[in-house]
Amino acid sequence: MNKDIATPVRTRAILEKYGFSFKKSLGQNFLIDTNILKKIVSFADLTENSGAIEIGPGIGALTEQLARSSKKVIAFEIDQRLLPILQDTLSPYENVRVIHKDVLEADVRIVMEEEFQGIHDIMVVANLPYYVTTPIIMKLLEDRLPIRGIVCMLQKEVADRISAKPGTKEYGSLSIAVQYYTEAETVMIVPKTVFVPQPNVDSAVIRLIKREKPAVVVKDEAFFFQVTKASFAQRRKTLLNNLTSQLPDGKQKKEEILAALSASGIDPVRRGETLSLEEFGRLADELYSYFH
């Protein structure tokens, strides 16, 4: 059994050997607690027939745990300076492939088709760079990749927003966007002390399991998201105010917006954060004909 990468001593030794310095712009914080890494992997329920996709492997601490728990791991790393380090630290694992690409620009579906032949259970497991967490999660979901779900570590505040329920102050258009595609839950809180360098915020691990079909069936998905975004534009404002000020020609179409609210059984003085996904679905469908 190879020595774990994610111990303070081994991490320091690797960083010193390669003279590696952290880039703030890439949001690099490396985990130095093997137990937490093992826990993160356990939330993904991998088997020896699973594939794992990692984003931002750093020096390979999580990658190593994934390699031990799955059939194959693909890791996307944007920082060229880490490639020789990963080649070294992951040399014991034949089942890992590091791809030097920004995941936001990569065609992940094609990579999956090439790398995961014969593997049908695929999870994304990652300690995401905090400055691009939301775009990465949304890309993975909107591209409708053939994954079972995502287990990722991210800023606790973002995790709270993603898994928030209606009626809470964290609930917003991000909660709706992610919960439309997945069942979301925060499974673990991670203190900042287990990273080098220490981030300024606490982290959380969130598990998103993809729904077989979206949470609500709507006439037009893009318009549904447009309506939810508009509804939260100014949180203190009522639905009616937000929709009239945010939707195209909304001010001219105030009567139509009122009619749509009435038809969907929603009081115009309610606020966006009180509506469930189902209510937003009904509202978007009622508004659709007036705006198209």
**Could you give the CA distance from residue 205 to residue 210 in angstroms, rounded to a whole number?**
16
Q: What pairs with residue 153 in β-bridges?
A: 127, 205
| Helices and strands in the chain: count of H runs, count of E runs | 12, 9
**Could you give the CA distance from residue 28 to residue 196 in angstroms, rounded to a whole number?**
9
3-state secondary structure of 55: strand
Residue 258 annotated as part of some ligand binding site:
no
Residue 54 annotated as part of some ligand binding site:
no
What tokens were used for 149? 């779900």
In this structure, what are the phi and psi dihedrals at residue 223, rounded to the nearest 5 degrees?
A: -70, -40
Residue 77 annotated as part of some ligand binding site:
yes
**Could you give the CA distance from residue 25 to residue 59 in angstroms, rounded to a whole number?**
17
Residue 2 annotated as part of some ligand binding site:
no
Q: Please tell me what DSSP assigns to residue 153.
A: E
Judge contact between 258 and 220, C-beta under 8 A.
no
Judge contact between 278 and 272, C-beta under 8 A.
no
Buried residues in 60-86 as b, exposed as e (16+ CB within 10 A): bbbbbbbbbbbbbbbbbbbbeebeebb
Q: Which residue has the tokens 């920004």?
A: 102
Judge contact between 136 and 110, C-beta under 8 A.
no
**Could you give the CA distance from residue 186 to residue 163 in angstroms, rounded to a whole number?**
6
Cα 49–Cα 51–Cα 57 angle in degrees, nearest 5: 140
Q: What pairs with residue 281 in β-bridges?
A: none
Return binding residues for S-adenosyl-L-methionine: 29, 31, 56, 77, 102, 127
Return binding residues: 29, 31, 56, 77, 102, 127
